[in-house]
Amino acid sequence: MGPLSGLRIVELAGRGPGPFAGMMLSDMGAEVVRVDRPGGDRHVQAPDPRLELVVRGRRSVLVDLKHPAGADVVLRLADQADGIFEGFRPGVVERLGVGPEVCLSRNPRLVYGRATGWGQDGPLAAAAGHDINYIALAGALEPIGRAGGPPVIPLNLVGDNAGGMLLAFGMVCALLEARVSGRGQVVDAAMVDAASLLMTQFHGRRRNGTWRDERGTNYLDSGAPFYDVYETADGRYVSIGAIEPKFHRQLFRRIGLDLAGLAEPIAHADWPALRARLTTLFRTRTRDEWSALLLGTDSCYAPVLGLAEVPTHPHHVAREAFVDVGGVPHPAPAPRFSRTPGAVACPPPAPGDDSAKVLSDWGFTPTEINGLTGAGAVH
């Protein structure tokens, strides 16, 4: 029912951006078949593979790509697909016999997505790395943190997940173009590029003199006291984002902060004193007491919720922001569409859950399936 309904995508299973891209494409209605491999590393993250939520919405085929017949299975799937994507280091899929050159020679309309850390070329292309390394080189790690302290790691959101979004976006762009031209192409989606794109506005601000290189001294990096988090009386935290004067004036009035001696705009030199006053004030009430006073106003306020609290918060409940998938709450597909809404097609599969059914649906005969499983090419 989603806007990508009718598209067939093959996902060569990996970690990092690939699974996130596969989730996004599946949530939007594409039929995504995930090709897992024997001895894969999914269990590193989730001892129960059905709790690896990011793998939701797909069926899984377990294929040994090192088996002589394994590559042929993938090639035959790609022959019938609109797109395929992988997340190996450059050159790996070529050595396995399922690289873009051979796939596109068989299916010229195919879109071939490639997710890597450093990209398909450049002096670092073949080097190992993880999210933290890619965002470091992109300049996205250095500005995050408190003044006088080291950079703070923003989970793996800025490299892995942003890279997955870049891959999904690139796949959809190329799929749209292929409908016009009748020709597929290769999509090079590098996590270092995704992180660099996210920093575009900050490159501009630095050039025009509105961004300081010193960490924790700017409006958006914990430098400004009216854009920060504060501890409350019960040891929890609240977030304040009242950058504009009309918003922080309302915030200060509601929390009872005396504005005497503070001129507008609030000078950078006054930030430390204001922070000290806000720190003391927010420790006088609990997080939920502050929420009762501020949430829903133009004070630019929200409580800092833990993961366990998020699904049951009234705002998320009202928007049905979480959906039940096999008894487990999942963040709902996004963005939302008025006519062709996305949906989670199925719970996360265990590797190989659907091997025989998928191969049958994609044109393999029972004799072929029995031969492949008997030979150990498919599990």
3-state secondary structure 175-215: HHHHHHHCCCEEEEEEHHHHHHHHCHHHHHHHHCCCCCCCC
pLDDT of 44: 47
Predicted structure pTM score: 0.95
Pair of tokens at residue 328: 């487990």
Q: In the chain, which stretches have pLDDT less than 70?
A: 41-46
Q: Where in the chain is the domain with CATH 3.30.1540.10?
A: 227-231+237-303
- Fold for 227-231+237-303, please state it: formyl-coa transferase, domain 3 (3.30.1540)
Region of 352 (left: φ > 0; alpha: ψ -120 to 50; beta: rest) is left
> Could you tell me which of 308, 353, 334, 355 has the C-alpha nearest to residue 50?
353
Which residue in the list 27, 160, 188, 353 is annotated as catalytic? Answer: 160
Mean predicted lDDT score pLDDT of the chain: 95
**Quick check: is 315 catalytic?**
no
d(CA 3, CA 1): 7
Assigned CATH class of 8-198+322-375: alpha beta
pLDDT of 1: 83
**Quick check: is 234 catalytic?**
no
Region of 71 (left: φ > 0; alpha: ψ -120 to 50; beta: rest) is alpha
Q: Cα-flanking dihedrals φ and ψ of residue 303, to 5°?
A: -70, 150
What's the pLDDT tens digit per position in 166-220? 999 999 999 999 999 999 999 999 999 999 999 999 999 999 999 999 999 999 9
Q: Which residue has the tokens 């200060």?
A: 252
Please state the separation of Cα 163 from the chain's center in Å.
7
Q: What is the DSSP letter of 29?
A: T
pLDDT of 42: 55
Q: Where in the chain is the domain with CATH 3.40.50.10540?
A: 8-198+322-375
pLDDT of 45: 52
Which residue in the list 67, 130, 313, 316 is annotated as catalytic? Answer: 130
